[in-house]
Structure 1
Amino acid sequence: MIAFDFAYSRPNTPSEAVALYETAAAQGQHALYYAGGTEIITFSRMGQMAADAIIDIKDLPECQVLGIDGEEIVIGAAVTLNQLADSDIFPLFGQTAQAIADRTARNKITVGGNVGSRRLMYREMALPFLLCDSKVKLFGPQGARLLPFTDVFHHALNLKPGELITQFYIPRSFVANTFVHLKKTKQSSVNYPLVTVLALEDGDRIRMAFSGVCAFPFRDERLEELMSNRARPLCERVKQVIEQFPHEVLHDLEGSEDYRKFVLQLTLEEILKQMGWAV
């Protein structure tokens, strides 16, 4: 249950959803879009989140799409992590989804909700979108816009007031690429990550995205260059990545900075070996 009083609406179209948001804002009310609701429910119970209006978008047809359109895979923002993983439409995305939370929670957590989270820094579903030249379709007061994912995701999703995510588009050409997804946790596999690394082979280089190491998920092409340099031994490449890591490494209850770096080192070595890039 959501632990505060609110006005509830269930629009039939994105334009109707945005109109409801704008009406609430014009009345000085705080409105939230709702799909899976896990974040709203969790943080409202802790007294850390409240709203005057809840706009339920989980049944919008555009947000429920999961399929292939020509040369692109289309994933609706309200598709749950289990729906995505069970579809096997793109194993790279499915494995990422399966590693988040437990199966019961994944029945509620949506792709758009995880990517767009404002409260949880991990946003692990952003990693495959960062690697696969993805696009995201947004709908807001000025209508729809389709943009490269990396244009609106810089450590977190940057939306205009009233905007909502409707769909993601991924080139089908990436489905055949070799990939490795490794998530390291302190204890149970459903814990928040100490380190999550997603690596994707792209011709003569490896693309990589990270979560759990820093206070946000990210991709860094300089680190990819270091990892992809087969002229240098595995241990040297990994050492360079650790030494030249571009952001502050987390130091918290999940793990110290030094411990995270140690786990990251082992994870990167394992990735290179699994992908056949160790030599």
Structure 2
Amino acid sequence: MELFQLKRASSVAQALDIAETDAGSQQSGASMRFLAGGTTLLDLMKLDVERPTQIIDIHRLPLAQVEAIDGGGVTIGATVRNSDLANHPLIKTHYPVLSEALLSGASAQLRNMATTGGNLLQRTRCVYFRDAATPCNKREPGTGCSAIDGFNRNLAILGTSDHCIATNPSDMSVAMTALEATIHVESKQGKRSIAIDDFFLLPGATPHRETTLKPGELITQVTLPAPAPGSRGVYLKLRDRASYEFALASAAVVMTVSSGKIAHIRIALGGVGVKPWRSREAEAALLDRAPEPTAFQAAAEAALQSARPQSQNGFKVELAKRCIQQALKLATQTA
């Protein structure tokens, strides 16, 4: 870990002032990061993957509330801890898919520290990204992707490019994608609201650019729209072991059934995409159809039709299909 300067902010305005000042020094090679729970950033600093010279501690900011908003829906502060969010009555009652996703991730100790904003910015667990001695386009653009011809069992099969096949590791973001969350950010230039599906970027030829965040921007909150009456949500995670493990394949399903047909459906996948993967193809295959096995199978086939498996992760194609079908089955059974 390299030397860095730590600054503590007591308000959003102060954090943005510091960030703007630090951004001016980035032209000389400095880099700035916001720190909340630190469950990802500190690990990467110890591995010499992240090398910030300026760190702004934001965990004291007044962004730790979960509140209902007018017209339905909920707002979630960026520093809300994962454990608090998962167990909040508003989330457990109206957004069970999000609660299930959060409780399936990491360990209780990490959930007690990890924050909503930090979870959105989690970085891949690809072993080559986390090994500073190996080539990695995401870590050092232009050096190559070691995973394509290396160990890629756990990596992505959807949205990949010739430059990167790293998987997004977040469970929370998969559920929020199915819930059509909006991410709110602030900087000295003003405020922006970003639909979650537009927040994450495909790797293309620039895998080091993972989100649409601009330098100096701070995530302040996430909003979820009001759930549709009678909607049902399920998060199903398939992994090598029952706890403290990242997904090989996961599915978040939010569904409404009316008059025996699927009237509203959102499906997002984890463990198989370079970002939390919304499958509009699967949704189109289900809309206005009866919730029965043949429809679920058609949706699963549609979701994986563009998969590009690598040498060791071809099993994920069938695994993800079965995950989707089982999640849809569970959603139809949810009271």
Q: TM-score range by the shorter chain?
A: 0.7 to 0.9
The reply on whether 1:238 has 2:297 as its aligned counterpart is yes
Equivalent in 205, 221, 232 of residue 178 of structure 1: 232
Residues 73, 190 of structure 1: CA spacing in aligned structure 2 closer, same or farther, 3 A cutoff?
same
The alignment of Structure 1 onto Structure 2 pairs a total of residues equal to: 271
Q: Does 1:11 align with 2:58?
A: no
Residue 273 of structure 2 corresponds to residue 214 of structure 1: yes
Tell me, what secondary structure is at the counterpart of 1:26? helix
Q: Contact 1:152/1:159 (CA < 8 Å) preserved in 2?
A: yes
Consecutive unaligned residues of structure 1, counting only runs of 5 or more, are none
Q: Which residue does the alignment assign to 1:116? A: 121
Q: Relative to 1, partners in 2 of residues 1:246 and 1:19: Cα closer, same or farther, differing over 3 Å?
A: farther
Note the 1:244-255 alignment, pairs <5 A: 245=304, 247-249=306-308, 251=310
1:72 positional shift? 2.6
**Which residue is 2:42 aligned to?**
41
CA deviation profile, 1:219-267 (whole Å, cap 9, x unmatched)? 0212212244636962464256336625545548xxx433212222222
Give the alignment partner of residue 200 of structure 1, picking from 228, 251, 254.
254
| C-alpha distance 263-32 of structure 1, shift in aligned 2 (>3 A) | same
In structure 2, relative to structure 1, the CA distance for the partners of 1:232 and 1:132 (3 Å cut) is closer
Please state if 1:94 is matched with 2:99: yes
The TM-score, its normalising length taken from structure 1, stands at: 0.87
Q: Which SS does the other structure have where 2:40 is aligned?
A: helix
The structure richer in helix per residue is 1
Identity %, equivalent residues? 24
Secondary structure of the equivalent of 2:23?
A: helix
Q: Given the superposition, is the C-alpha separation of residues 11 and 247 from structure 1 closer, same or farther in structure 2, using an over 3 Å criterion?
A: farther
Letter in 2 for 1:81: N
Give the Cα separation in 1 of the matches to 2:291 and 2:179. Answer: 26
RMSD across aligned positions (CA): 2.5
Of the structure 1 ranges 223-232 and 203-212, higher mean CA displacement relative to structure 2 is found in: 223-232
Higher deviation after alignment, 237-246 or 257-266: 237-246
Distance 1:65 1:9, change over 3 A: same
Q: Distance in 2 between matches of 1:231 and 1:67?
A: 35
Matched, 1:272 2:324: no
> Which residue is 2:134 aligned to?
none
Greater strand share, structure number: 1
The whole-number CA distance in structure 2 between the counterparts of 1:242 and 1:113 is 33
Q: Following the alignment from structure 1 to structure 2, what is the Cα–Cα distance between the partners of residues 246 and 122? A: 22
**Counterpart code for 2:79:** A
- CA distance in structure 2 between the partners assigned to 1:172 and 1:236 by the alignment: 27
Contact 1:137 1:167 survives alignment (8 Å)? yes
Which runs of structure 1 show a deviation greater than 6 angstroms over 4 or more consecutive aligned residues? none
Distance (whole Å) between structure 2 residues aligned to residue 266 and residue 148 of structure 1: 28
Give the TM-score of the pair, scaled to structure 2. Answer: 0.73
